[in-house]
Structure 1
Amino acid sequence: MEPRGFLTRLLECAFLFAFSAWLIRTAVRCLIEVWPVLAVIAILALIGTIGWRVYRHWRDTGQW
C-alpha cells in the first residue's frame, strides 16, 4: 500500500464531508415529510397505553 499524498487525502475528506452533508439533508427532508404521521402514531400509542393502564387498574381493584 503506497502512501497517499496530502492533496489526495484532502480531496477524499472533502468528498466524504459533502456526501455526509447530502445524506443528512435528505434524511431531514424525509423526516419533515413524515413527522405528522409519526406524531399521530405516538399520540395513539400513548392514549392506548394510558387507557390500558386505567382499565387494568379498574378491573383488578374494582375502585379508583
Structure 2
Amino acid sequence: MRKGKMKIFKNAIRSFIKEFKSYNINEIEDIKIQEFINIHKLNIQDIEELYTEAWSRRS
C-alpha cells in the first residue's frame, strides 16, 4: 500500500468509525456493522482492489 492509497484507506476507516457515534455499541446488530463496512468500502475484496497494488521488485 502506497502513501496515497494509505491516506484514502485511513479516511475510509475514520468515516466508518464515525458511523457508530449515534449507536449504543452494545446494541448494534451485525448486519448494521456489515452495512457500514460495505458503505465505506472496507470489506476484504474492496481493500484488495482499491487500496493495494501488486508488488514488483525494482532492478
TM-score (norm 2): 0.36
Answer 1 or 2: higher relative contact order, Cα 8 Å, separation at least 6: 2
Q: From the two aligned structures, give the one with the greater helix fraction.
A: 1
- Structure with higher Rg: it is 1
TM-score (norm 1): 0.34
